[in-house]
Every structure is written in structure tokens, then in C-alpha cells.
Structure 1
Amino acid sequence: MYRPPTAEAEVAEELAAVRPDLVPRYTAALPGARAAVLTRLWRALAHEPLPWISRRVTEAGGLVLWLADGRGLRGPHADPYATDAYVTAVHLDGALYDDPARLVADLAVPHAAVFAAELGHSAASLALSRAGRPDQPEEWPRLDWEWEQRVVDGHPFHPNCRSRPGFSVAEQFAYGPEHRPVVELGTVPVPARECLVAGAWPDELRDGERLLVPVHPWQAAHVLKRPYDAWSPAHPLMSLRTLALPGGPHVKTALSARLTSSVRDISAYSVGASATLSAFAEDLAARTDGLLHVTRTLGAVSADSPDLAAVLRESPGLYACGDEQVVPVAALAGTSLPHSPAWLAGFTSLALRVGLRLLELGVALEAHGQNLLVVLSPDGTPRRLVYRDLADIRISPARLTRHGINPPGLTGRLITDDETTLRRKLFGSLVAGALAATAGSGPALGTALEAAVRDLPPGPELTALREGPLPTKALTLMRLSPTTPGDQWTTLPNPLVLEHGTRDQ
């Protein structure tokens, strides 16, 4: 017989030892955190190609999922673009479930036990994150890392939005950006002959014939299990493993923990491609009429291991002029801006104009809310975009060549001429990701897209966006398919043609 997961109780026990003042707030935050995770899970159950769901039926009272074993799972109508926690409970064969971990465990599908444990940790960690946030809204930040640390809830659509396995409560407070710590980064010396280096590695991180590789304290303690030398205080950004150095660049560290779907390390392939990609992207951004900046990669190093590597990258804040601010799209939900339909339409138009233009030329950005930033005027008007982290874009040599652009001298996973792959990369990250999360619902997203596409130049990519279903990563299917490598995909109803009513799916 399944017993409720212990993640919530374990977190409460650790919290009582390190921050007893937050225990009441944590306890109060748990129901809302469960609902937030359950809402993300319900989106997946409603729209992903999970093999043990045989039929989906939309009825007047909501959605019924018929499982292959004959059980019925009932819940509300599923808006795939909603970010509010509107699913507080579902019913499996008449039994009520308000805990996503307990629901998945009792579904008893393949690999459910591991995923259920992750969901329990995600809800507990989310409640911990919410417990520590300020009571009142703050003034807009002035520094780039302050914007990043306002993102409390993590991924807007992944059920593992705050899952941090391997992190104690004390470590979440010490390293989680939403808790606003200062992290003391270290360095590990490695003989230069054993390292792969791209770009210009700074003198500050050299010691004779050795390179000093920046290392995250968690990585040093749990993965490398070796001492390191103190280097610099830094402010963690929303990705956890990337941190802002005081007055300087951002440093992306290897952090071999499973956050949401993936284990985060830095491959030798990414390091080797970084300088070429950075130069290529700088040239490409110049073709967007000043609407896009791409942060330059200053240097990258791998000590012959994905677990000991680092990338130094420009701060996006360098691309603000005067009183402008550069804001990660994921942080927009914490402002009043997305609530204005006119503002949302303007931002959507800007993002699509840039994204579709680059896709036409031959580059698909992974423009989710973490990689994509917007430059705002003092009154909040979106002026330009900034993109960072080129490690997972897709590049089409054939498209580039057709437009008279020399493809970069790269091979491997970044390179593809496959039309479906290119469109999935951009549409899934930008439209089903960044724009959907900013809009907060299907109707709001559809209204913004309809207003934006009227003024966009026609072309096959715009036609595909307007007429086809919208691709997105099947995030839950991926977690329940541990032996299947790579991304898996599903499609969502196109918000431009979204129809409501009763239908069998």
C-alpha cells in the first residue's frame, strides 16, 4: 500500500532546524504548491501521448481520461497555456486526489514510483521557495541578477518545476536564487594541457601552466568530492548553475544535478563550439535591424569532463541604454506589464518578428523564458530582445546558404536541415513556452498572437505557426521514459484557432 511521500515532512523537519521562523509559512504554502504541481501535471495528462491513456473525452463538466486498464481520471477542462494553479483536485475512479505525487503513485504506470518521488519533492521545494519570498511586491530591481531572483515558481509548465533532488534545505537556502544568497564560487586548478579551451580564458583564471576552472560549491562537495580554492562571491541566476559576478560577466558552472528534466553539466562539445557559435550569432544578430542582441561568450573551458567545466558570458545588462532595463521573460509574470493586452501584443509582435526572421534565415533559437530577455524602456515599452546561451539552438546550413550566409564550421547535434526539428525548437520554446507563460492562458495568448501576426511579413514559417498545431516538449512523457534518449514532443491546440466544445480525442 502506498504511503504519502515523505518529502514534505522531511523538508519541514530540516526547515525547523535551520529556519524555524519559516515553518508556519511553509506549512501554509503546501496546498498551493501541490495545486501548482498538479496543474502542470494535468496539462501533461491532457495533452501528451502517454501510452497508458487510451482516450480523452471532453464533457460539459470537464475532461475525462480513460486509462488502458479501464479506470477513469476526471478533472477540469485543460488549458495548456494556463499558469495559474486552477487544478486543486482530480478524481481517479471516484477517489479524490489533491496531491500529485500520490496520484502518480496510484496510477501505477511504468516508472511511476520515481516520478512520484520527484513530484513530492517538487511540491515541497516549491512551498519552501514561496515561504521565503517577501510579503509585499517590491520596486522594480535595478540589477540583472535581482530580476532573476524574483522567479520563485520555476518552470511554468513542468511538473518538476522546483524539484531539486540532492539538495538539502540548507543547500537550497545557500544556492537557490529565489532565496537570494551570495554564493562563494571556487576554482580547481587543472594542467592546461589537460583542458579544452575556447575563446580567451582570462589571466585571472590562470596560474602558470594551470587553468583555474570555476566550480560551484555544491558540485565540489557532491560530485567532484575534492577541495577547491576560494575565488569570488556571486549571485545565482534562475538556472541555479549560472551566477553573476560582481560588476562582471556571468559564469556558467557544471552542476551535475537533475533539475526539472535534465542532468546539468557542460559537455566538451558545447565548450568546443562556443567561440564559433558566439561569433556566428553576433553576425546573425546584425541582420535583425537592431532588434536582437546576443550575449557574447568570452571564454569556455572543459577539464576533460562534463562535471568540471565552465563558460564565461557577457551580462545581458550590457545591452541596456540609459534608464532601460533588461528583464528575463520568465520574470515578467512578477510585473504588471503582461496584464495589459496592448503590452502583451506588442511584446509578442517583437518576439515573433525576431524569432521568425532568424528561423527563415536558418537558425532556430531555444527562446524560452530563461534564455530570452526583453529590453524595456523606462515606461515598460518593449524595445529590443537579448538572447543568451547558444548551447542548444539549431542551425540549418541549407537555409543559411540560400540566404547567402556562410554556415559556421560546426557539426553534431546543433546542425540540421530538418524542417520539423527547426520549427519545434522555436515554436516550442518561444510560443508554447515564453509567450504562453507571459500571457498566462490560452485566450490571452490567442488574442496576443492574433494582434501580432497581422503585421508580420508573410512566409512559410508564419503560415505554419498560424495553421498547424503548436509543438511542445512532452516533459512528463520524457520523465516516464528514462530509457528513451533525447527530447520527445507533443502538440497543443493552436491558440489562434482554439475551439471549445465537446469532443473525443
Structure 2
Amino acid sequence: DHPALRAAIARGDVRDLGPGGPWFTPTASVRTLYDGRVFLKFSLNVRITNCLRKNAEYELAGAVALTELLEPVARDLGARFPGCELLREPAYRTLALRTGDPGADRELAEGFGVIVREGLADRLAPGVTGLLAAAIADEYPTGGAQIGHLLAAHPAGAGPETALAWWEAYLRLLVPPVLAAYFDHGVVLEPHLQNVVVGVDGDNWPRQVLFRDLEGTKLLAARHAGTLAALPADVAGPMTYDAPRGWDRVVYCLLVNHVAELLAALADLHPTLEPALWRAVRQVLLERSAAHGEPAPLRALAAGAPLPAKANLLTRWGRKADREAGYVRIGSPLGSALLSEAAREAAATLPWSPA
């Protein structure tokens, strides 16, 4: 219904070819399609949660620019943390009518913009199957990827020992590269459940973690000032966070949105295992804190400092860009997870719960 598009079709500048080509399947993000070879991220121009889901002009150019900038980072993380991969977004395509109306040209360029993302086959190791982390953490075991089904099919069985070992292996794939990206490279990944693909082997054991969707990946402005200055301002600006906001985003996506949810799915299977699951989280955080020279934010996180939870409702009401979302502080389970089993058993006899 866009007047400039209708006029272009009437002139013959644009032709509607109708359906054609190979079949694509929608993914969990709705507007990203997959044909088994490549992902295509389309514009919907529909608001879903906080965002108007379209590929803005700066996002089209930004995806390609960020892919180039992150290549050394991706290689370093892959070398240091075997199993870590970033899905690149090396190209985009759109419609450039040049009608003489800059506003109409921008609307059409954004409405037709398609970002190309690597397919899973480009990054998954042989014999490894990619599963969406959100499907593994599903509260209800309706899909074959849900953690209960994965463990039930494991040769060692689905007992608590297997579940804890699976969890420890998973944490050591997921957590270290996210923290290294932030502290060593000034890169804010967005590893929430929808943005992580888990590669499992024939025994359903975690072997790889693939991070997808560069739209949420940002650079710390102070660490990348020179690089950002070389980009157009409208591309560089949305590509950055300051350090505190970037840290909130990392912790929220990694712990609140991802680790806590998958841990809960495991605890549903083995409720008595929950303290040990949180101790495993804290152990990995302590290891990474030592590896990065004990940075204060990471030390505090491991010690049980309050966690940032994204204030989605306020962001939605304010019609703010998602990168401008605020955060509220919530209690962290990491401190209470240090209680010994004996202390927990004693506390269970009290008329109140220390949790």
C-alpha cells in the first residue's frame, strides 16, 4: 500500500514475481527464515515486544560492518574456547528506488531490507546437531530438544549425576567466551536463550555453542573509539554501549534470561540438585574472574550481587529502543547457593525459607 511502491510497480521499475524459489522455514524469531543453507532476516514492520521489527538502514550497513570488525574477535574466541562460534552476517540486499523523496526511499529500503546470516552447517562440527537453547530450556517437555528428552536418551541415564555433569559441560562452553568478549575485546554479546544454538553430539552432550544475531551485539565505545569514528555516525551510534550498560546487558542475557532458565528446567527434573547447579555457576564465574584479573564487576557477580533484570514494560510504554532499556535489581541465587547441604537441611526445618 505504500504510494511510492505502487507507483514504481505501475512504472515497471518493480515487478512482483510471485512465489518462487526454495522453501524456507520460519525460526523462533518469526522474521528470520532458514532453508538449511542460509538464514534470511526480513523486515516485518510490526512491533513485537519492545521493538518495531524491521531492518533499519543503519542495521543493514551495521550487520556487514560488525561482521568485518568482529572477525578477529571470533577467531580469537574460537581458538581459546573450542566449540565457540559466531554466526556472521556478511551481506544484505534491499530495494533502492531513488524516488526523490528521502523519507519514502528510506521506508522502502528498510521494508525490503534482508540481512543474510550464515547457516548452521558453516559452523557446526561433523556429527553435531544444532538445537535452540530456548527449546532445551522449555518449561514443558513437548519438543524433542527439551532437556528432559536429551538426558533421557543419554547412555548413562537421566539421573542427577548425569544432569550435573551435562550442566557443568554446558556452562564451560557458554560462559567463558561471553565474558572474554566483554573483558578482553570490549564486545557485548547478547546470549539470551533465543540467540544461542547449542551443538550436541550423538549422546546429546553439549559440544558447541553458536551465538547468533548481530543486531544485539554491541561495542564498548571507550574501547573502540577509533574504529567507531571511521563509521558513519548513524551506523556507529546504535552499535555501542558504555561499560555499565554493556555489563548490565551481558549479565541480564547470560544469567537472568539464559542460565537461570535452563537451570530451572534441570531443577524441575531433579529438585534436590538445584544448590549444586548454582554452585557450578558460581565456580565458573570464579574461574573466569581469576582468568581476567579479578575485575570488580565479575567478583561482585560471583559473590551474589543483585542481578539486572530488563524493565521491559517501562521500555515498551516509553517506546524506547531496546538498547536504551533500563534495568531493575533482583536478588541473586549465587550467594545462597553456597550453603552447605547440611545447612540447607537444617534450614528446611525452620518455619521460614532462607531462599
TM-score (norm 2): 0.69
Kindly provide the CA deviation profile for residues 144-192 of structure 1, in whole angstroms up to 9, marking residues without a partner as x: xxxxxxxxxxxxxxxxxxxxxxxxxxxxxxxxxxxxxxxxxxxx9999x
1:424 to 248, 256, 262: 248
The one-letter amino acid of 1:295's match is L
Question: Alignment length, in residue pairs?
Answer: 279
1:276 partnered with 2:83: no
Give the equivalent residue in structure 2 for 1:293.
85
Kindly provide the CA deviation profile for residues 28-56 of structure 1, in whole angstroms up to 9, marking residues without a partner as x: xxxxxxxxxxxxxxxxxxxxxxxxxxxxx
Give the equivalent residue in structure 2 for 1:476.
313
Percent identical among aligned pairs is 22
The one-letter amino acid of 2:93's match is V
Query: How far 1:371 moved relative to its partner?
Result: 1.1
Kindly provide the CA deviation profile for residues 103-127 of structure 1, in whole angstroms up to 9, marking residues without a partner as x: xxxxxxxxxxxxxxxxxxxxxxxxx
Give the equivalent residue in structure 2 for 1:185.
none
2:325 to 455, 471, 487: 487
Give the equivalent residue in structure 2 for 1:452.
284
Query: How far 1:364 moved relative to its partner?
Result: 0.9
Give the equivalent residue in structure 1 for 2:172.
349
Instruction: Determine if contact 2:128/2:207 at 8 Å carries over to the other structure.
Output: no
Q: Matches of residues 92-241 of structure 1 in structure 2 within 5 Å?
A: 229-232=18-21, 233-241=23-31
- Rounded to whole Å, the distance in 2 between the matches of 1:397 and 1:454 is 27
Query: How far 1:380 moved relative to its partner?
Result: 2.5
Instruction: Determine if contact 1:252/1:310 at 8 Å carries over to the other structure.
Output: yes
1:335 partnered with 2:147: yes
Query: How far 1:362 moved relative to its partner?
Result: 0.3
Kindly provide the CA deviation profile for residues 346-378 of structure 1, in whole angstroms up to 9, marking residues without a partner as x: 212321111110010200101111111222222
Aligned-partner SS, 2:333: coil
2:122 to 312, 318, 332: 318
- Rounded to whole Å, the distance in 2 between the matches of 1:372 and 1:210 is 40
Kindly provide the CA deviation profile for residues 75-122 of structure 1, in whole angstroms up to 9, marking residues without a partner as x: xxxxxxxxxxxxxxxxxxxxxxxxxxxxxxxxxxxxxxxxxxxxxxxx
Structure 1: gaps (5+ residues):
1-187, 192-208, 213-226
Q: Matches of residues 298-447 of structure 1 in structure 2 within 5 Å?
A: 298-303=90-95, 304-305=106-107, 306-333=110-137, 334-336=146-148, 337=150, 340-360=163-183, 361-399=185-223, 409-410=230-231, 411-416=236-241, 418-440=242-264, 443=274, 446-447=278-279
Distance 1:267 1:190, change over 3 A: farther
1:257 partnered with 2:35: no
Aligned-partner SS, 1:456: helix
Greater percentage in helix: 2
- Rounded to whole Å, the distance in 2 between the matches of 1:190 and 1:302 is 18
Instruction: Determine if contact 1:394/1:425 at 8 Å carries over to the other structure.
Output: no
2:299 to 451, 463, 467: 463
Instruction: Determine if contact 1:366/1:425 at 8 Å carries over to the other structure.
Output: yes
The one-letter amino acid of 2:125's match is C
Query: How far 1:283 moved relative to its partner?
Result: 1.6
- Rounded to whole Å, the distance in 1 between the matches of 2:320 and 2:213 is 25
- Rounded to whole Å, the distance in 2 between the matches of 1:190 and 1:285 is 44
Give the equivalent residue in structure 2 for 1:66.
none
Aligned-partner SS, 2:332: coil
Aligned-partner SS, 2:209: strand
Give the root-mean-square deviation of aligned CA atoms: 3.2
